[in-house]
Amino acid sequence: MKKLFLIPLAAMTIFACTNTRKTGKSSGEKGSIFYTAYDTPFGTPPFDQISEDDYRPAFAYGMEQHAREIDSIANNAEAPTFENTIVALDNSGEILDRVSTVFFGLEGAEKTDTIEQIAIEITPKLTEHSDNIYLNQKLFDRIKTLYDDTAALNLTTEQFQLLDKYFKRFVRGGIMLSDTAKARMREINKELSALTLDFGNNVLKETNNYKLVIDNKADLARLPEGVIAAAAETAKKDSLDGKWVFTLQKPSWIPFLQYADNRALREKLYKAMYMRGDNDNQFDNKEIINKIVNLRIEKAKLMGYNTYADYGLEQTMAKTPQAVYKLLNDIWKYALPQAKKEAVELQALIDKEGGNFKLQSWDWWYYTEKLRKEKYALEESQIKPYFKMENVREGVFMVANKLYGLNFKKLDNISVYNPEVETYEVTDANDSLIAIFYTDYFPRSGKSQGAWMSNFRDQWVQNGKDIRPIVYNVGNFTRPTNNTPSLLTLDEVETMFHEFGHATHGMLSKVNYKGVSGTSVYRDFVELPSQIMEHWAFNPEVLKLYAKHYETGEVIPDSLIQKISAAANFNQGFTTGELVAAALLDMDWHTQTTQQKFDVRDFEKKSMEKIGLIPEIIPRYRSTYFNHIFSGGYSAGYYSYLWSEVLDADAFQPFVEKGIFDQATAKSFRDNILSKGGSDEPMKLYIRYRGAEPNPIYLLKNRGFVK
C-alpha cells in the first residue's frame, strides 16, 4: 500500500532557509533558542531546551525578521541580479524556518493541546505572511525583470529552475490579479489554511476518541496471541484491567478485521473507522469539506482556471485533469474486473463455511486472510515473527549500503522529542557526512495517522559549504508488548521501505539552492524514490539479509519466501481498486466548476456509482477523513502514487535485468534522480537515468494484471 508523504504546513506556506546570521536578541528570552544556529551536535534541534512557550515569540520574531529581509530585497537600489534577488530570497527567513520545521514536525508527530492551539493561532498569520511575500509587487517586478531576460543571465540549469519556480510561485499566488482580486485571494488563503487544519484535527480526535472495549474473552476467538496481548496492554493503559481495547489506529483495527470470528464486532469497528468525520458531532467534517471545495473553486476561477484541478495540476508532470483521468481509468479497466473476481471467491468461501449472508466490506479482510491461507498456505501470523522492527530497519540500511555505499551509526548524544525516537549518523563510502536521520515508528495519541518523511534541515550550499540535511521518518507501526518486540505486517514492512525511499531523496540531495533541494519536486514525481524502494522489501535476496526470527535468529526459510512471492499479487483487485477509487473521488471533488451546497455522502455515492465500484469495497479514504486532499498537500494529487508507479515500475527494470544491487544502475539512479532534487525538469532527469520515457506496461505487470 502506498503511503502518505507529508510536508509540514510551514514548508507549504512559506519558503525559508537556515542561515547563521546573529539577531542581537538576548539568549535568555522566550523563543531565543531559535534565533541563532543550534549549538548542538550536527546542528540538530535541541528538543531538550525547547519549551512550548518558545513557539509564539519565535514565530512572531521569525516573521518580523523575514519581512525585513523581503523589504530589503524588494527595495534594493541596485539593478536586480540572480544573486541579489533570487538567491537572497532563497536564503531569507532563517529563524522562521528553524521554528517552523520543529513546530510542524511536532504538530504531526507529538501534538499536545498547547501545540494544537498554537497551530490554530499561527496558521492564519503564516498564511498572511506568505501572501505578503508573494503579493509583493516590487519584489515580483525584480523577479520578472530577470525572468524576461534569462538568455542574458547565462544561468545554469539549476539556477533557471530556481528562478522559474519563484516566478511561477508569484504568478500562481495571484500577483497579476487586480487589487480587489488580490484582497479576496488573501481572504481565501487564510480561510483555507484554517479549514484544512481543522479538518486534520477532527480526524485525529475521531481516531483517538473511539475504543472498542471487549470484556468477554470468547469475542477474541481466532485472534493471534500477540494481537490479544497488545489489546490487553491498551486496556491497562486506559485503566481497564482485565479487558481488551481495540482502537482506530491501523495496527489495532486491521488485525481485528483479519482474524476476529465475531462478525458483529468486526462490523462495529470497521464502521467506526470509515465513519470518522461523518458522525454529525463536533468533529464532523462535512461542512468543512463544503467550505474547502467551494473556496478552491472560487480560487481557481479567480486565477482564470476552469477547475481547481486545472490550477493544481499545472505544476505537475500530468499537467491536466484529462491526463489524470486517462491514467486512472486505464488502470480501473484492469482493477475492477479483478476485484469482482475476488469478491466472487470470497462469497464462495462464505457459502462453503455455511455463512448465510452476503459479503460486506467489513468481511473482506477476514475472508481474504482465510483465502490466502487456503490458496498459498500462508498466514500473516506465520511471517510476522521474521519481521522484527529493528531487523527490518537494519534491512533498509543494508539495502542503502549495497546500493549507495551509505553507512548508519546509531547516535546517543542527539536530543529527541520523544524517548521512542532514534537517531543515526549517515556517512558515505568515503566517510563523509551525508545526513542525520531520525526514526519514530510507533502510534501515539498525539501523532497523526499514516507515515511520512520530512526534514528539520534541507541540503544546500552556504558560502561554499555543503550543508547536509537532517531527515526524519515517522510511522504508525505495531507496538512492542511486554512479551514480544514490534513485529511488522507485510504492509508495515513495505511502508518502512517506502518512507526510507523518501528519506534517501532528502539525504542524497546534492544541489546549491534550498528551493530545489531534495524532495522539492513535482508532487507526481516525488513518489518515485519512495516507491522504487519498495521493490527491494520482499526480494528473496534481500529477505535473506534481514528477515530473521525474533526468538531463534533463524533466517526466513525458502518455503516462506516462496509463499510470499507466490502471494505477491493476491488481492490486487481490492488493493488497486480502493486506491484508484480514492484517486477518482479526489479528482471528482476538484473538477467541480460551480460553487454549491454539496451533500458529501451523496456526492461520494454518485462518484463511486459512476465508476461501478462494487459495494463490498469502499475507497481507501472516504471524503470525511481524506487527510491527503483536505488537510495535506495532495488535493487533485492523490493520483500521484499511480503516476509515480508508472515511473518506479519502469525504473526498477534495469535492476531486474542486471541484478538488484547492480552498481552502475544504482549510481545512475543516485546521480540522475536522488541527488538532483528539483534542479531540472523531472522527465529530463528520468530520461537521463533510463534512456527513454517510462513504459506503462511495467505498472500493469507489477500489479499482476498482465504477464
Q: What angle do CA 298, 304, 308 make, to 5 degrees?
A: 50
Please report which helix (H) or strand (E) contains residue 474, including its range.
strand 470-474
Pairwise CA distance, residues 207 & 448, whole Å? 9
Q: What is the residue whose three cell numbers read 477509487?
A: 581
What is the dihedral sign for C-alpha 337, 343, 346, 352?
Answer: negative
Please report which helix (H) or strand (E) contains residue 212, including its range.
strand 212-214
Q: Quick one: DSSP state of residue 409?
A: E
Specify whether the CB–CB gap between 331 and 226 falls below 8 A.
Answer: no
Q: Beta strand pairing status for 470-474 and 433-440?
A: parallel
652-683: string of b/e by CB count within 10 Å (b at 16+)?
Answer: bbbbeeeebbbeebbebbbebbbbbbbbbbbe
Pairwise CA distance, residues 73 & 68, whole Å? 9
- Tell me the residue type at 296: R
Pairwise CA distance, residues 513 & 73, whole Å? 17
**Those residues with Cβ within 8 angstroms of residue 89's Cβ, 6 or more apart along the chain or in another chain:** 15, 70, 73, 139, 143, 166
Pairwise CA distance, residues 632 & 11, whole Å? 12
Backbone angles phi, psi at 548, to 5 degrees: -130, 140
Query: What are the CA-CA distances from residue 152 to residues 147, 155, 171, 285 (Å)?
Result: 10, 8, 22, 52
Specify whether the CB–CB gap between 704 and 568 falls below 8 A.
Answer: yes
Q: What is the residue whose three cell numbers read 489524470?
A: 324
Specify whether the CB–CB gap between 252 and 246 falls below 8 A.
Answer: yes
Q: Quick one: DSSP state of residue 53?
A: G
Pairwise CA distance, residues 87 & 146, whole Å? 12
Specify whether the CB–CB gap between 379 and 563 falls below 8 A.
Answer: no
- Tell me the residue type at 647: L
Query: What are the CA-CA distances from residue 78 to residues 82, 84, 92, 232 (Å)?
Result: 12, 8, 18, 69
Q: Which among 107, 492, 499, 616 is annotated as catalytic?
A: 499
Specify whether the CB–CB gap between 197 and 119 falls below 8 A.
Answer: yes
* Residue 578 among the catalytic residues: no
**Spatial CA neighbour of 140 closest among 118, 119, 169, 112:** 169
Backbone dihedral region for residue 358 (phi beyond 0: left; psi -120 to 50: alpha; all else: beta): beta
Pairwise CA distance, residues 423 & 440, whole Å? 9
Strands (E), 83-205: none
Give catalytic residues, as residue numbers: 499
